[in-house]
Amino acid sequence: MAAANEPEVIRDKAAMRAWSRRRRAEGKAVALVPTMGFLHDGHLSLISAAAAASAGPVAVVVSIYVNPSQFAPTEDLATYPSDLAGDLRKLSATGAVTAVFCPLDLYFRGSAGRPTGASAGAVSCLEDAGGSGHESWIRVERLEKGLCGSSRPVFFRGVATVVAKLFNIVEPDIAVFGKKDYQQWRIICRMVRDLDFAIEIIGSEIVREADGLAMSSRNVHLSHEEREKALSISRSLVNARTAALNGNNHSQQIKHQIVQTLTEAGGQVDYVEIVDQESLVRVEKIDRPVVICVAAWFGKVRLIDNIEIQTAS
């Protein structure tokens, strides 16, 4: 039994589902904050949003699970940062988390039930050469195209599938996602709508370091020099929003300025796009609510960031 203010740690799927049902029988709403661990203040802000998400009592569940199905075999699954003991201390210190769901694995892995590793021609780090492993996927077909989906073709398939699994296991009334992963947030909203999950999805605003860098678990991999250069992302986004609100509504001009700023700072640009906030379709003119989305490499670290523009001149 967890001590006062210390969240209960649950590893079994059936136990997690039973826990949520008991909380709901007590009259509490269950709010889920899905994470991959290595928690920072951005994650803790999601927990605060979850705790405040209902007028009545709320039981907050934080899941910690590094999802292999959203990583391609060439991506950084093996080096993704992890500190479960530190995460549990941070969650306990909030006083707002009731349970932590830390499953060992959420996928069936071959006939023996063991991880089999990626098979030849694998598109993600979750593949089974024997044919008896996980093979059911959820795709939000249009919203997953473009932006991060262009360079990470299996990413959102993996995200949508693992989030649906978490929803089926935790059975939350509310789930909170950070808007730094803007495309992911919109995809989850659409999946919930289309598949009739009875869950309220809350998008929480980006939390930044004092110098403007968007908080990310991957920031730990940046050298001091790379981190300084990466500040060009947030600076270019703020300048772009200022330009748009001052009357420059030409998307191509603004995109070019951002690309130039990032390149001059030493970044390798994956994409810069200005898209409609709801549909994520590219816009030629900023004449509606849009979001400017950026992905760029600094050293071996891929960073994403965005900024919303609600109105334009």
pLDDT in tens, 52-68: 999 999 999 999 999 99
Exposed, middle or buried: residue 209 (CB in 10 Å: 0-12, 13-18, 19+)?
middle
Report which of 302, 306, 305, 298 is spatially closest to residue 76, judged by C-alpha positions. Answer: 302
Q: What is the pLDDT of residue 128?
A: 64
Catalytic residue among 40, 43, 134, 224: 43
Given a contact cutoff of 8 angstroms between Cβ atoms, the answer to whether 146 and 295 are in contact is no
Q: Which residue has the tokens 């605003």?
A: 205
Q: 86-115: per-residue pLDDT in tens?
A: 999 999 999 999 999 999 999 988 754 444
Beta strands 290-298 and 268-276, pairing class: antiparallel
Percent of the chain beyond pLDDT 90?
A: 86
- φ/ψ bin of 280: left (φ > 0), alpha (ψ from -120 to 50), beta (otherwise): left
221 assigned to active site:
no
CATH superfamily of 217-304: Pantoate-beta-alanine ligase, C-terminal domain (3.30.1300.10)
* Mean pLDDT computed over 143-167: 96
Report which of 60, 76, 77 is spatially closest to residue 68, judged by C-alpha positions. Answer: 77
CATH assignment, 8-204: 3.40.50.620
SS3 26: coil
pLDDT confidence bin for 133, thresholds 50/70/90: confident
Q: 173-227: per-residue pLDDT in tens?
A: 999 999 999 999 999 999 999 999 999 999 999 999 999 999 999 999 999 999 9
Distances (CA, A) of 109 to 58, 117, 155, 168: 35, 9, 19, 19
* Mean pLDDT computed over 122-138: 80
Domain ranges of the chain: 8-204, 217-304
Residue type at position 207: V
CB atoms inside a 10 Å sphere around CB 136: 8
Q: What is the pLDDT of residue 115?
A: 46
Percent of the chain beyond pLDDT 70?
A: 93
Q: What is the pLDDT of residue 3?
A: 54
